[in-house]
Structure 1
Amino acid sequence: SRVAAVLAINRLCAPGSELAIEERWYPSTALDDLLEIEEGKINDTRLYRCLDRILPHKTKLEQQLKQRYGELFGAEFDVLLYDLTSTYVEGAAENNPMMARGYSRDHRPDCEQMVIALIVNSEGFPFSYETFNGNRADVSTMETILRMVERKYGKARRIWVLDRGIVSEENLAAIRKRGGQYLVGTPRSQMKQFEEELLKDDWTRVQPEVEVKKVVIPQGEETYILCRTAGRKEKERAIRHRFSAHMEDALQRLGKTIATGRLKDRNKMERRLGRIQATHSQVNDLYEVALHDTPNGIRLHWSIKPERRDWRDLREGAYMLRTNLQTHTVEELWSEYMQLTEAEAAFRTLKSELHIRPLFHQLESRVKAHVLVAFLGYALWVTLKHLLKRQASVVSKPSARGVYNAQPLSAMKALTLLSTLQSADIVLPT
C-alpha cells in the first residue's frame, strides 16, 4: 500500500514514468522519511509489480474514498454526474485488445485509444470509473455503468446528470426501470416541437445572460427545460455569418465561372457545387441551390430559405434539458445540470495536471492500473482543493497597478508552494 501511495502522490505532484520516479523524483522528496521506504527500495521493478497487484483492489478503494469523503466533507452521492473521455496510446499496443481507433477527444485519430467513463458527485468528488474499448460508442456505455453501480452500492433512487451524447431512449428507460431519475441534455433536433414556446416572453432569468423556461408535457412523466444564453447566441450567430459569407462567395465565384463559359461540362459543375455544399455543411441547409437550363446556357441559381434562416435565428443560443424530476424548480434544474462542468473539470485535471495521456504501457492490465493510479491522483487533488476551500486559503497576487490582491489558493498553486519546502536531517554532536 505504501508503494501504491508513492505512485498516487507522484501522479498528483510530478507525473512521470516509473523509471523517472526511481531515478529523479523519489530521491528529491521526503517520502523516504514520511512513508518509511528507503530510497534504494523504490525502483521501477517494484513499481511495476505494484501496478500488477493494485487493480483487484479498485472497488474497495472506491468505497473507501466514498466513505472518507462523507466523513471529511459531508459529501453526498445521491446526484451523480456521468461523462466520458478518451486517452490515446503511443506505440502499436498489439498486446492490448482494448486499444482501438474511435472518436478521439484528444484530436489524435492516428492513435489507438481507450474510453474512460467517470462518475463524480456535484462537488467533483470521484464516485467510480470504468474503462471501455477505444471504439465503444458513448451511448452504449450507460447500461454497463448502471449495473456496475448497483453491484457495488446497491439500488437507490439516484439522480443521473448526463450530457446529450450519452442520452438515448433505451438509456433513459434503463434508469427509470431501476427507480432512478435523470436530468439530461437533449439533441437540438427535438427543439423544433417547442418553437412556439421559444417565441413567447415568459422566460425566467437565472443569471444576467441566462434565461430558462419549464415546459410540462400534458399527461407525461417528463418535463422539458428550454434555456438560452446571450453570449452563446452571439457566438453561434457570428459563426453562422462567417460560414454563410464563405459559402455565398464560393457560389458567386462558381456562378461567374459558369456564366462566362469557362466551365461548360455539367458533371463538373455538379461536382464543384457538391464540394461547396460539403465544405459548408454548417449552413448548407439554409440555401436553395440549383443548376438551371436557360436560353443562354446553364446558370447557377441560389437563394436563402427564409423559414430556415428564421428558425436558425430563433434557436441560436438555445438548448434543451429533459428530466423526470417533478419537485424541482426550473432554476434548480438548470443549476444542477450546470454542475456537469464538475465532471468536465475532472477530465481536464486528469489530462493536464495529472498527465493521464498519452499511455506508454502496452499490456491491458498495466494500462488499467495506470488509469486507477490517475483516479487516485485525482482523489488527492480534489481532497486538497476542498481542504483549501474549507480553510479559505488565499495568496497575494500582484495587479497591473502593483497592488497585491488576495486570491483563493488553488490546488496547483498550493502544490507549487509546497514544493519549495526543504527537508533535512540535522545531526547534533553529543
Structure 2
Amino acid sequence: MRTQTATSSLGEVLGVSGADEDDLYAAMDWALARKDAIETALAARHLNDGTLVLYDVSSAAFEGRTCPLGKIGHARDGVKGRLQIVYGLLATTAGIPVAIEVFDGNTADPKTLTAQINKLKNRFGLSRVALVGDRGMITSARITEELRPAGLDWITALRAPQIKALVQADALQLSLFDEHDLAEINSPDYPGERLVCCHNPL
C-alpha cells in the first residue's frame, strides 16, 4: 500500500512519502477531533451576514455492521436493503465546503435542517442568511416551523402540483412569458414570499 500512495499526486502535494490504512485512519481521527474548530474557521473566512449558503444531503452505503449510524433508508444509488449513512454539506455559492454533518442512514432530508440552522446561527454567529436547498428538503413545514422562526431566508423550488395550482388560480399566467423568460409573481398561498418563474420551452 505504501508504494502505491507514495506515487500519487496528492502525496506530492501534501509532502507525504507514503501512507497505509492505519495512517489514513489516524489522519481522520485527528480531523474529527478538530472538526468544530475547522468548520468555524472556514465559516469565518467564507461566510458573512447577508450571504447565500448552499445545503444538500447525500448518502453512502457501507459493508460494516457495527456503525451506530448505519441504517437502511432512502437509497439514492438505487441499491436497496443496504446499511447507509446520510451526510449534509454546507457550502458557499462558489462551492467551497464549509461544514459537514453525518446522520443516521434513515434520516429524511428535511429532518437534517435543524442542525444546520443551529450551526449557522449559534456556532457560526450568523443572523442573516439565505439557505439554498432543493424542494425535497426545504418543505413548507420546515419553512413554517424552523426557517421563519430562526429569522433565516431561503431559496428553493416549488413542486409540479404547486405550480399547477398557481396556474389554475390565475396567479401565474403563461402570457407573462410572451416577452420575457423570467417573471416575478405574488400569491396569497405564499404570503411574504417572492415567486420567480422561469419559462421552460420544453
TM-score bucket (shorter structure): 0.7 to 0.9
Q: Identify if the C-alpha distance between structure 1 residues 136 and 52 changes in structure 2 by more than 3 Å, giving closer, same or farther.
A: same
Q: TM-score, normalised by structure 1?
A: 0.41
Picking from 56, 67, 75, the partner of 2:33 is: 56
Picking from 217, 221, 224, the partner of 2:187 is: 217
Deviations 1:7-37 (A, max 9, x none): xxxxxxxxxxxxx3x23122566958974x6
1:145 is the counterpart of 2:116: yes
Picking from 67, 75, 91, the partner of 1:104 is: 75
CA distance in 2 between partners of 1:154 and 1:113 (Å): 32
Picking from 24, 37, 44, the partner of 1:47 is: 24
CA distance in 1 between partners of 2:50 and 2:38 (Å): 16
CA distance in 2 between partners of 1:33 and 1:171 (Å): 42
The corresponding residue for 1:25 is: 5
- Give 5+ residue unaligned stretches, structure 2: none
3-state SS of 2:154 partner: strand
The corresponding residue for 2:137 is: 166
1:85 is the counterpart of 2:80: no
Picking from 84, 104, 107, the partner of 1:136 is: 107
Q: Identify if the C-alpha distance between structure 1 residues 102 and 69 changes in structure 2 by more than 3 Å, giving closer, same or farther.
A: same
The corresponding residue for 1:203 is: 177
Q: Report the alpha carbon displacement of residue 217 of structure 1 after superposing the two structures with TM.
A: 2.9
One-letter identity of the residue aligned with 2:26: R
One-letter identity of the residue aligned with 1:217: S
Picking from 76, 90, 98, the partner of 1:119 is: 90
Q: Identify if the C-alpha distance between structure 1 residues 45 and 149 changes in structure 2 by more than 3 Å, giving closer, same or farther.
A: same
Deviations 1:157-192 (A, max 9, x none): 101112100122331121111211111112222223
Equivalent residues of 2:59, 2:76 under 8 A apart: yes
Equivalent residues of 1:204, 1:212 under 8 A apart: no
Q: TM-score, normalised by structure 2?
A: 0.82
Q: Identify if the C-alpha distance between structure 1 residues 30 and 150 changes in structure 2 by more than 3 Å, giving closer, same or farther.
A: closer
3-state SS of 1:141 partner: helix
Deviations 1:289-308 (A, max 9, x none): xxxxxxxxxxxxxxxxxxxx
1:157 is the counterpart of 2:134: no
Larger radius of gyration: 1
Q: Identify if the C-alpha distance between structure 1 residues 205 and 52 changes in structure 2 by more than 3 Å, giving closer, same or farther.
A: farther
Equivalent residues of 2:46, 2:92 under 8 A apart: no
Give me the CA root mean square deviation: 2.9
More helix by share: 1
CA distance in 2 between partners of 1:227 and 1:69 (Å): 30
CA distance in 2 between partners of 1:125 and 1:205 (Å): 36
CA distance in 1 between partners of 2:12 and 2:59 (Å): 35
CA distance in 2 between partners of 1:79 and 1:171 (Å): 18
- Give 5+ residue unaligned stretches, structure 1: 1-19, 234-430
Q: Identify if the C-alpha distance between structure 1 residues 23 and 162 changes in structure 2 by more than 3 Å, giving closer, same or farther.
A: same
Number of residue pairs aligned between Structure 1 and Structure 2: 198
CA distance in 2 between partners of 1:135 and 1:193 (Å): 32
Equivalent residues of 2:5, 2:11 under 8 A apart: no
Equivalent residues of 2:39, 2:99 under 8 A apart: yes
Q: Identify if the C-alpha distance between structure 1 residues 77 and 94 changes in structure 2 by more than 3 Å, giving closer, same or farther.
A: farther
CA distance in 2 between partners of 1:183 and 1:46 (Å): 41
Same amino acid, percent of matched pairs: 22
Q: Report the alpha carbon displacement of residue 66 of structure 1 after superposing the two structures with TM.
A: 3.9
Q: Report the alpha carbon displacement of residue 137 of structure 1 after superposing the two structures with TM.
A: 0.7
CA distance in 2 between partners of 1:177 and 1:130 (Å): 22
Q: Report the alpha carbon displacement of residue 153 of structure 1 after superposing the two structures with TM.
A: 0.6
Equivalent residues of 1:205, 1:212 under 8 A apart: no
3-state SS of 1:81 partner: strand
